[in-house]
Structure formats: structure tokens, C-alpha cells
A and B are shown apart, each in its own frame.
Chain A
Amino acid sequence: MTGTEVREAVTRAHQEEWARVVASLTRRFGDLDIAEEAAAEAFATAVQRWPDDGVPPNPGGWLTTTAVRKAIDRIRRESKRDDKHREARMVHDDGPPEPAGAVDDDRLRLIFTCCHPALAAQTRVALTLRMVGGLTVPEIARAFLVADTAMERRITRAKAKIKAARIPYRVPSAEDLPARVSGVLAVLYLVFNEGYLASGPGTDPVRADLTTEAIRLTRLVRALLPGDGEAAGLLALMLLTEARRSARVSAGGELVPLAEQDRGAWDAALIAEGHRLVRERLAAAAGGVAPGRYQILAAINAVHTSARDMRDTDWSQVLALYDQLVRLDASPVIALNRAIAVAEVDGPEVAMAAVDRLEGELAGYHAYHATRADLLRRLRRGHEARAAYDRAIELAGNTAETAYLARRRDQLR
């Protein structure tokens, strides 16, 4: 085996096995910190040993065994100090002896623990990327534009709280499950959106590392919770959005709006997979299962990705889906996106009236001003459009979006 092949094997094992190793060690030793450290040491050992010893036939098994040994070493070292760690365990391994397939359940336990509502939203994101995604602390720190030491502190504090407050390591009860799954999906959607519309002035406008990671983790959640419609919906939404990624920013680093995107550059395979999931959920909806917000958003994106161009788009279908979404979630941001569909169905004047009603709540949101600017431009109210573009540029954090808005403003007569 060449050095490249070994490196690829390590990378693949990291992607496929990291969460499994951390999850099964957490169950066994009842301590996230021990599990994380032992998993990291096991992968470091693989990097050292596999080039000489060869890649083991069962890399996951090798990594788990190695990690277990590292964990036992650490516990022995620490138990010289005291026996307290045994009492401080967060896990009560109350289940029967592990049946086959219990490892998958362990990964699910791990996800629910990392996304526990008693942790702050940003902490849930960081902890999920570290424990489930296997990103390093500096990688996560870079993703959220904070110093390594600050991110390290946040993760350390979270692990300490999980242990001290005994945040359980288990899949929530049926009664709590829908709310808790929705919390997990919110974390994954946050990661995806930060990648898709990176907010910092110093970052790339689209962070493929984050969108790819969010999709990978959502695939995992979907596989672990195959009956959950919203998990399928979120995966479809991400796939249909990601499919347009390369067409969304021009070579010059400017955001390309949907109407102007080269639809031939969209990723046909991702679109096909997304459409399959949307059809699956439509069939469930026809059977009487009410769709949640991710499923509706995915359906909206399915309409867009089915159209040859902007004019071919079934806007009345898009509007009907937004009406359905507004009934679920009456937030002003949804109302703003609905107004964009209204502009296509009923014209910019009707849409303008709907947008103006949102001023009180959205005056500080760049997309509100960008939407107004576009509608004002179409209504030939150039002076007002210019002011709205100025405000949108002031508020927008994404570099590609700022460039696009500036060009549009400068094209006004």
C-alpha cells in the first residue's frame, strides 16, 4: 500500500468511524472527555502505525480497541488520585447488554447529548462538530471566527456541565422526542447556513467544508431516525441548496441570484437525490402526515430546481407552499420570503405592500432592504431603490452578497 492509500484510509476511517468510536467509548466509560481524548489518541496512533503495519482489515474495530486501551490507561492513571470518577459518571448504563446494532444507538445518544437544550445554542453546534463530526477545536474555532482558546474553553465547559449536571446519555423518551429531534435538526441547519452564507467579512462567501459536514451529519441523523419526516426534509433542503452552490457565486466573487444562475452548472445527482426525498415526503403527506417546516422548505426548493428557468418556475405552487409555511411559522423572515413569490404571481406592487408591513420587525435585517431595493427597482422608483441598496450593503456581512448589491445599485439610472 502506498503512502497516499494509507492516508486516504485514515481519512476515510476518520469520516466513517470517529462518531462511532466516541459514542461507544462514552457509553462504556460514561465520560465524554475520556471518550474524546481516547478517540483522538487512537486516530493519532493509526496515523503512526498504519503506514508500517498496513491498514487493519476492520479499521473501526481496530480504532475502538485502541481507544479503549488508551481510555483504560488514563483511568488507571487517574484512579491513583481517587475513585471518585466512578461516581461522577454521567451514564447509567441501564439498558440490557448491548444487542447487535447498539452502536448506531450510541451515535444517536451522542447526538442528543451534544444538542441538549440545557446547553447554549452555540455550544451545541461546537460540541456536535467536535464529538460527532470529529472536527478539531482549531477547525471549529476558525469556522466561527473565535480564538482557539475561547473555543477550547467553551467545549471544556460544556463537557464539565454535562458531567456535573448529569445530562443523560440516551435517546429521549417518545414524549420528548419530537422537540429534541427538532433541536438536533436546528443545530445541523445552523452549521449548514453558516457554510452557505458565511457571515464574516474575512471568510470565503461559501464555506464548502461546513455545508459538506452539515450534510454528512444530517445523512447520519436521517439514517438513525428513518421514520422522522423532518430529518428527511432537512436533508432534502440541504441537498437542493448545495446542488446550486457552484452556480451561486460568480468567478469574480459576486453572488448570483437564482434568476441569473447557470442552471446547467447545478449538481444533477444532488438534485435527483433531493427530489426523491421530497417525493417520499409528499407521499407521506398525502397519507395524512402533516409536513413540518423543513419539508415545506424542501418542497419549495424542489419547485425551483425542477424549472428550466425563472419564467418556467411554478410560482403559484411556490406561493401555496409559503402560505402553508406561514401557517406553521408566522415569523417575519418567512413572510419576507413569501413576498418574493407574491411579486412573481401578483406583481411587485402587491409584494411591496406586504414587505412594507414588515419594517417594524425587520429594519435591521439586510435581506429586508435587499428585497425592498429589488422591488423598488422593478417599480422604477430609482431614488428609493438606491437608498434601500445602501442600507442592505451596510447590513450585509457576506462579501459576495455585498458585491452583488453594489453592482445592482450602480446599475440604477
Chain B
Amino acid sequence: MRYLFSVIHDRPTLATPEEDAAIDVFNERLQAEGNWVFAGGLAAPDTATVVDNRSAEALVTDGPFLESKEYLAGFWIIEAADLDVALALATDGSKACNRKIEVRPFL
């Protein structure tokens, strides 16, 4: 079973060196214990570009699709047997990166 951990942040700051170090330790553990699928940190939301090609002509817009105080700062995709395992990992992940994490199952 795969879960997306969305890292939610509400300030325009990147991870501190201490947070980066803690994230590295957490990632190594995910890999060692077989929970790792993929992970990444994202640049600030104002670097985003939105493309909408649902109509006749592709529309390219500068900026995030949603203006909000909280934004997606990064993510993990992990493999876990069930939600209890995923929540336990998210608890440690939230501590490591010092941000909120939303846990959502893949279909």
C-alpha cells in the first residue's frame, strides 16, 4: 500500500541545516526498512507555473494554482502495510522536517 506524505508549511523558509540533517537520517531509515519509494523538496510556490490545456488553446499562468498561506513544501511517497504504520512513520517524519504532514493513500 502506498501513501503520499505531503509536507505542509506556512512560512516562506527553506529547511534549516539541522532539519536537513534530521530528514537525511529519516530517509536512510525509510530505505533501510523498505518503506522508501520516493521523496523530494520543492522550491517556493511563487516559482510555480500553471498550464491549462483543457480548452482549445493552452493557457500558461505564472504562480501557484491556489493562493493560500499553507503550501506544499515537499513530499514523500512511502510503502506501508496499513495506515497505522504510515501514521507512525509520518509522526517521525513530521518531527524530522519540523513541519505538518498530510497522509493520503494512493488508489
What residues make up the interface of A, taking CB atoms closer than 8 Å to B? Answer: 90, 92, 116, 118, 164-168, 172, 176
Contact = CB atoms under 8 A, between A and B. Distances in A.
Contacts of B105: 164-166
Contacts of A172: 84
Contacts of B84: 167-168, 172, 176
B90 to A, nearest CB: 11
Contacts of B1: 166
Interface string B83-107: 1100100000000000000011101
A165 to B, nearest CB: 4
A166 B82 contact: yes
A167 B82 contact: yes
A92 B82 contact: yes
A164 B106 CA distance: 8
B56 interface: no
A116 B83 CA distance: 10
Contacts of A118: 83, 87
B81 interface: yes
The 8 closest A-B pairs by CB, nearest first: A168-B82, A165-B105, A166-B82, A167-B83, A165-B83, A166-B1, A168-B84, A164-B105
Contacts of B87: 118
A47 to B, nearest CB: 37
A167 B83 CA distance: 5
A172 B82 CA distance: 12
Nearest to A167: B83
Nearest to B87: A118
23 contacts: A90-B82, A92-B81, A92-B82, A116-B83, A118-B83, A118-B87, A164-B105, A164-B107, A165-B83, A165-B103, A165-B104, A166-B1, A166-B81, A166-B82, A166-B83, A166-B105, A167-B82, A167-B83, A167-B84, A168-B81, A168-B82, A168-B83, A176-B84
Residue from A116, A164, A172, A176 whose CB has the most chain B CB atoms within 10 Å: A164
Q: Interface SS of chain A: helix, strand, loop or mixed?
A: loop
Contacts of B82: 90, 92, 166-168
Nearest to B88: A176
A3 to B, nearest CB: 47
Contacts of B83: 116, 118, 165-168
A164 B86 CA distance: 13
Give the residue among B1, B82, B87, B105 with the most A Cβ atoms within 10 A. B82
Nearest to B84: A168
A167 B85 CA distance: 10
Contacts of B81: 92, 166, 168
Interface string B61-86: 00000000000000000000111100
Given A164-B105, A165-B104, 7 more contacts: A116-B83, A118-B83, A118-B87, A166-B83, A167-B82, A167-B83, A176-B84
Contacts of A166: 1, 81-83, 105
Contacts of B103: 165
B81 to A, nearest CB: 7
A176 B87 CA distance: 12
Most buried by B among A90, A166, A172: A166
Contacts of A165: 83, 103-105
A165 B80 CA distance: 11
Contacts of A90: 82
A147 B76 CA distance: 39
B15 to A, nearest CB: 27
A90 B82 CA distance: 8
A160 to B, nearest CB: 11
Contacts of A92: 81-82
A239 to B, nearest CB: 33
A172 B107 CA distance: 25
B19 to A, nearest CB: 26
Nearest to A116: B83
A167 B82 CA distance: 6
Contacts of A167: 82-84
A166 B87 CA distance: 11
Nearest to A164: B105
Nearest to B80: A166
A172 B88 CA distance: 12
B37 to A, nearest CB: 16
A92 B1 CA distance: 11
